[in-house]
Chain A
Amino acid sequence: MIWLLAAQRFPPPEFTETGHKLPGFLAPLPRGPWMEHFDVIVLLMALALASWLALRGRSRRGLVALGTFSVMYFGFWRKGCICSIGSIQNIAQGLADSSFGVPATVLAFGLAPLVFALLFGRVFCSSVCPHGALQDLMLIKPVKVPVWLEHGLRLIPYMYLGLAMIFAATGGGYIICQYDPFVTIFRFSGSALMVSCGIELLVFGMFIGRPYCRFLCPYGVILGMASNVAKWRVRITPDTCTQCRLCEQSCPFDAINPATIETPSRTVKTDKRRLAAMILLLPLLLVSGGWLGGLTGKRLAHKHRTVSLAERIYLEETGKATDTTDASAAFRATGAPVENLYADAQSVRDRYVLAGRWCGVWIALVAGGKLISLAIRRKRYDYEADQTRCVACARCFKSCPQELQRLGLPVPEGAPLAPPNSPAIF
């Protein structure tokens, strides 16, 4: 091997004449660990403040200020890494591979927003996530996305989450980081493709509220699920809803569920039948999802470093390829036996198939859940912020006449006000 002989080619001199001293190494250090702990403290304080502003203070202005701070601090100053969205990949890899240590900071960034979502809803999204805050600040003229498109596109993040988890858990790389459109903006550099994606998304986001959050963000999926069981939640009205419909159009993210009105065309009986059919369909969906996922996993495995190297080496060994690639040359230089490589590649392939099956089941479950939720109609008497979709931005509050009254602002004429015995907020 070249390296082993390297030092003997030209014996290092003694410098007996001049007594020249060898210079040492410069080793500039990374940011100290205490800086990372400081980041976690800032994160926790920002989350607490966001919760207060969204639920108690009901202050859009406060959230905008906090959002600006988050873009500056977590975005431009810390250059985007580590962020909560990406950290779920480290956690997934840590769960799949016990030798992979996840630093406490990464863990805190991944879990703290989730804990807050379980208590207060998606307050992280409102103004702490630099990606979300950046898009939120850029939104100037919201346009409504057609309902069918909105519902379809909202399924993308679930699949993205599934895929990202496959790749992370099998050691195939972090696709959330690789295709993060905004980190390039925070760093003012990156691959040309991702820089242009980031800029396009931002321009797009001036009219379509938070396109990344709604139609891509895999972390938003998890936060949305946690937010569904939140203890306290964003309320559009500080009082009781009088169904005045004034808030109906105020959410740029399509997160307000209107009060249900009776639809005579759908009877309880047909609804029940539909629901039963969906529930019977679910196992079929799950099995086929798992099967398709397994196949997809097998295909994706070719992208893994070890598998593609093994395939290349196989071609070279069997004489189907006569030249070498950088990777195969590097492998040859290590002198490792080919059989070990093949065995490694096989175990990676197996892991991909397994992860692919899980991902398929997950996507089938999401699709099934969507179908079932379309069949179920919960009676809703009030206008409410949707538990999953609401990002607690506080935009809708001031459209409620009772909020205006609470603040002592002029109330639009003819708007119904609080019914007598109205309960307090909490």
Chain B
Amino acid sequence: MKRRDFFLNAVRSATMVGLGGLFASFVHKAKADGKVWQIDPWKCTQCGLCATECVLEQSAVKCVHSFDICGYCRLCTGYFEPQPNSLNTAAENQLCPTGAIFRTFVEDPYYEYTINEPLCVGCAKCVKGCTMFGNGSLHLQIRHNVCVHCNECSIARACPADAIHRVPVDQPYKFKSRGEQV
């Protein structure tokens, strides 16, 4: 029994030292403490999977708007159906399936478009319209007040453009902005 105890002690101590080394080597390396998932809007291809692949009932991905890129167009290709009956706010003219985009008049001929996030399901329809024919100011981001921070984001797994990666918790967004456009 003595020999067995000695053996067990040795194995246990060795394992402890190993785990300690592992911890030290990683902690030494880990700069930012946490990581969260975020979409790179420059890589996103608006495939629509964000709306369906999130583990939450209603996706944590929402459309956000870079106002400094926006052209404030009267005929917004992110807001209107490709061939709208008329340029008014009637639901049948809108691209957004949930009517989450609000249009307000600013000055002739400019309109401002704002997202009502609780309604947005992250389907990227507006983003596609805006990116294909407009300035690309509408884009998708993971909202961290909704996201439950899965260890592996389900959307990242499915994203065909590999646009979703971990980002440091102190820079949790990748908003599009004018300065960024190289």
Which of B15, B29, B67 is A118 in contact with, Cβ under 8 Å?
B15
Distance A9 CA – B181 CA, assembled complex (angstroms): 13
Distance A50 CA – B136 CA, assembled complex (angstroms): 54
Q: Residues 187-218 of chain A: 1 if any B CB is under 8 Å from the residue's CB, otherwise 0?
A: 11111000000000000000000000000000
Distance A28 CA – B36 CA, assembled complex (angstroms): 13
Is A413's CB within 8 Å of the partner chain B? no
A17: B residues at CB distance < 8 A: 107
Determine whether the beta carbon of A10 is less than 8 Å from that of B135.
Answer: yes
Distance A325 CA – B160 CA, assembled complex (angstroms): 9
A187: B residues at CB distance < 8 A: 55-56, 148
Determine whether the beta carbon of B69 is less than 8 Å from that of A7.
Answer: yes
Distance A188 CA – B55 CA, assembled complex (angstroms): 10
Q: Residues 118-152 of chain B: 1 if any A CB is under 8 Å from the residue's CB, otherwise 0?
A: 00000000000001111110000001110111111
Determine whether the beta carbon of A105 is less than 8 Å from that of B34.
Answer: yes
Interface residues of B, CB < 8 Å — how many? Answer: 68
Distance A115 CA – B64 CA, assembled complex (angstroms): 45
Distance A177 CA – B8 CA, assembled complex (angstroms): 33
B70: A residues at CB distance < 8 A: 12
Given known contacts A190-B55, A305-B162, A333-B45, A174 and B110 CB-to-CB distance under 8 angstroms: no
Is A13's CB within 8 Å of the partner chain B? yes
Given known contacts A7-B136, A101-B32, A105-B33, A27 and B152 CB-to-CB distance under 8 angstroms: no
B66: A residues at CB distance < 8 A: 25
Is A86's CB within 8 Å of the partner chain B? yes
* Distance of A156 from chain B, by nearest CB (Å): 22
A170: B residues at CB distance < 8 A: none
Distance A17 CA – B70 CA, assembled complex (angstroms): 18
* Distance of B11 from chain A, by nearest CB (Å): 5
A226: B residues at CB distance < 8 A: 15
Interface residues of A, CB < 8 Å — how many? Answer: 71
Determine whether the beta carbon of A12 is less than 8 Å from that of B69.
Answer: yes
* Distance of B113 from chain A, by nearest CB (Å): 11
Select from chain A the residue with minimum beta-carbon distance to B30.
A101
Query: Which residues in window 308-359 of A have CB below 8 A to B?
Result: 325-327, 329-330, 333-334
B23: A residues at CB distance < 8 A: 107, 111
B175: A residues at CB distance < 8 A: 25, 27
Q: Which residue among A2, A24, A102, A114 has the maximum number of chain B CB atoms within 10 Å of its CB? A: A102
Given known contacts A23-B114, A190-B55, A326-B45, A89 and B160 CB-to-CB distance under 8 angstroms: no
Determine whether the beta carbon of B57 is less than 8 Å from that of A189.
Answer: yes
Is B90's CB within 8 Å of the partner chain A? no
Determine whether the beta carbon of A7 is less than 8 Å from that of B135.
Answer: yes
Determine whether the beta carbon of A27 is less than 8 Å from that of B135.
Answer: no
Is A238's CB within 8 Å of the partner chain B? no
Determine whether the beta carbon of B106 is less than 8 Å from that of A15.
Answer: yes
Select from chain B the residue with minimum beta-carbon distance to A9.
B135
Distance A327 CA – B162 CA, assembled complex (angstroms): 8
* Distance of B59 from chain A, by nearest CB (Å): 11
Select from chain B the residue with minimum beta-carbon distance to A90.
B151
Distance A98 CA – B144 CA, assembled complex (angstroms): 27
Which of B22, B136, B172 is A30 in contact with, Cβ under 8 Å?
B172
Distance A29 CA – B38 CA, assembled complex (angstroms): 12
Determine whether the beta carbon of A36 is less than 8 Å from that of B34.
Answer: yes
Determine whether the beta carbon of A115 is less than 8 Å from that of B16.
Answer: yes
Determine whether the beta carbon of A177 is less than 8 Å from that of B45.
Answer: no
Q: Residues 17-42 of chain B: 1 if any A CB is under 8 Å from the residue's CB, otherwise 0?
A: 00100110011011111111000001
Which of B11, B16, B30 is A104 in contact with, Cβ under 8 Å?
B30
Select from chain A the residue with minimum beta-carbon distance to B147.
A30
Determine whether the beta carbon of A111 is less than 8 Å from that of B30.
Answer: no
Is B87's CB within 8 Å of the partner chain A? no
B91: A residues at CB distance < 8 A: none
Determine whether the beta carbon of B182 is less than 8 Å from that of A4.
Answer: yes
B36: A residues at CB distance < 8 A: 30
Is B68's CB within 8 Å of the partner chain A? yes
* Distance of A348 from chain B, by nearest CB (Å): 13
Distance A152 CA – B182 CA, assembled complex (angstroms): 59
* Distance of B73 from chain A, by nearest CB (Å): 6
Distance A211 CA – B27 CA, assembled complex (angstroms): 35
B148: A residues at CB distance < 8 A: 79-81, 187
Distance A194 CA – B117 CA, assembled complex (angstroms): 28
Which of A24, A178, A329 is B157 in contact with, Cβ under 8 Å?
A178
Which of B33, B117, B182 is A103 in contact with, Cβ under 8 Å?
B33
Is A151's CB within 8 Å of the partner chain B? no
| 12 further interface pairs, Cβ-Cβ under 8 Å (given A6-B131, A18-B107, A178-B157) | A3-B42, A7-B178, A7-B181, A12-B72, A30-B36, A80-B148, A104-B27, A187-B148, A229-B12, A329-B45, A330-B161, A333-B45
Residues of A within 8 A of B (CB): 2-4, 6-7, 9-13, 15, 17-18, 20, 22-31, 33, 36, 79-83, 86-87, 89-91, 94, 98, 101-107, 111, 114-115, 118, 173-174, 177-178, 184, 187-191, 226, 229-231, 305, 325-327, 329-330, 333-334
9 residue pairs from A and B, CB less than 8 Å apart:
A10-B73, A13-B110, A30-B147, A33-B169, A89-B151, A118-B15, A329-B160, A333-B161, A334-B43
Interface pairs A-B: 3 shortest CB-CB:
A10-B71, A330-B161, A326-B160
